[in-house]
Amino acid sequence: MNAPIVNESTSVSNATLVSAVPNTDFSVDGSSILVKFKDGSNGQFVDINFDGLDLTTWEDFLLNIYTSPRLNDSRLFRVTIDGADFDFGAVSDRGLFKAVLFDVDLSTSTITSVRITCLVDDELRMFVDTPMARKTTAEDQDLDLVNALQAAISLDYGVVTTITAPVPVAATTIPLASRAYINDRAEAEIEEEGGGTKETIVIINRMGKIEKPLVNGYASGATVTILVPVRLDRKSPEVFDPQVGIVILGHENDPKIDRIEKISGKVFRTERWTGELSVSIYVQASSERRFNSLVRQFQNDHGDAFTILLDGETVDVWGNTASVTSQPDFGDASRTVFFYSIKPRPVTIATQRVKVVPTVIIRSKHAETTIA
């Protein structure tokens, strides 16, 4: 589970030398902060500000960081969090972000900012992403994985139509211009022409009857886009056409306990690694033509392996067997099932500390490094 920061803003020590602007070109989750320190910025800083975040109930504070490539300089920048300073060299690896984890398991503070200070005289560029507090519990670790899976899967059904007449607030039927490839219990989004007001609806038959009254009214010409909802199969009794479903199959019984020394002689964390989670992900639709399109999309986007964003960190999801396609009876939906294994984050059993100082671990998809 995690707590992303709220009401994020930035401030800089000297606007002539330092800039911090939103960026969508290079990011872990779709948006990041591009920080530029110009020549002569040694000692200048940027503050990432946010509403008060109580660290008492969390284990880690996370930042994803990428720095421009450097040939030397073992000390590029400093991160100050909860009153403690941490100096870093380059943290880019093969053009990827690295997850920087600050251990706050025993902190009793509420923080409202994180400071990044330049430690070199020449220009330094960096991207900062996904600041959040987080923790893993045995009760939530599988649900965290499933939620991350749901967020990572997005398929386009390719069916968009319009309404042919205005519909008022609380209407229970919408007049569809086309019913092609719209089946019973299709989840859809209706949006005012040109953008603006929109809501998600469930079309329960091809005549345009909807499950719940409209929250908003819409003019003639509003667009209706058929969605492909992603559902945890055993927690949702609803079945949509089309649909992606996630089914938890079981757990690999390979538990392991690690005792990690994070700062020489000062901090110890004992973690329990549980077995991998086995899941199946199915793609289902009654229209054979649209079903084949959705399966190809899933194979292209995910296939034998893909990555998800689990509490701010990228995690690999590996296919472990060939997909299986069921041949439907007349009127039933076709279904292809894909099988995957995912390694959940470890659960912290205990943290012991000689000196109360936050600690740092840097992780990427390729390596893990302990930093003092």
- The per-residue pLDDT for range 172-224, each reduced to its tens digit, is 999 999 999 998 899 999 999 888 899 999 999 989 999 999 999 999 999 99
pLDDT tens sequence across 103-148: 787 788 899 999 999 999 989 999 999 999 888 877 777 888 888 9
* 3 state SS of 142: helix
Closest CA to 102 of 346, 370, 341: 370
Q: Element (H or E) spanning 350, and its range?
A: strand 347-353
* 3 state SS of 29: coil
pLDDT of res. 95: 66
Query: Would you say 195 and 255 are in contact if contact means Cβ atoms under 8 Å apart?
Result: no
Where are the strands (E) in 146-217, listed by range? 160-162, 186-191, 198-203
User: Does the 141-153+231-345 domain belong in CATH 1.10.10?
Assistant: no
Taking each continuous run of H as one helix and of E as one strand, the counts in the chain are 2, 26
| DSSP-derived pairing of the beta strands 60-67 and 124-134 | antiparallel
> What contacts 161, CB < 8 A, 6 or more positions away?
176, 177, 178, 179, 180, 182, 223, 224
pLDDT tens sequence across 61-96: 889 998 877 656 678 899 998 888 888 877 656 567
pLDDT of res. 68: 76
Query: Would you say 97 and 356 are in contact if contact means Cβ atoms under 8 Å apart?
Result: no
pLDDT at residue 360 is higher than 60: no
Cα 189 to Cα 22, 220, 228: the distances in Å are: 29, 15, 11
Query: Would you say 84 and 357 are in contact if contact means Cβ atoms under 8 Å apart?
Result: yes
> What contacts 47, CB < 8 A, 6 or more positions away?
10, 11, 12, 113, 114, 115
Q: Which two tokens stand for residue 294?
A: 């959705």
Compute the average pLDDT of residues 226-243.
83
Residue spans of alpha helices (H) in the chain: 141-152, 288-301
Closest CA to 362 of 65, 121, 131, 35: 65
Neighbours of 186 (CB within 10 A): 26
pLDDT of res. 356: 42
Give the residue with greater pLDDT, 303 vs 236: 303
| DSSP-derived pairing of the beta strands 198-203 and 77-81 | unpaired
Tell me the pLDDT of the chain averaged across its residues.
Answer: 83
β partners of residue 368? 363
CATH number of 2-135+356-371: 2.60.120.260
Compute the average pLDDT of residues 217-234.
91
pLDDT of res. 368: 43
pLDDT at residue 266 is higher than 80: no
pLDDT of res. 265: 39
Q: Is the peptide bond before 131 cis (omega within 30 degrees of 0)?
A: no
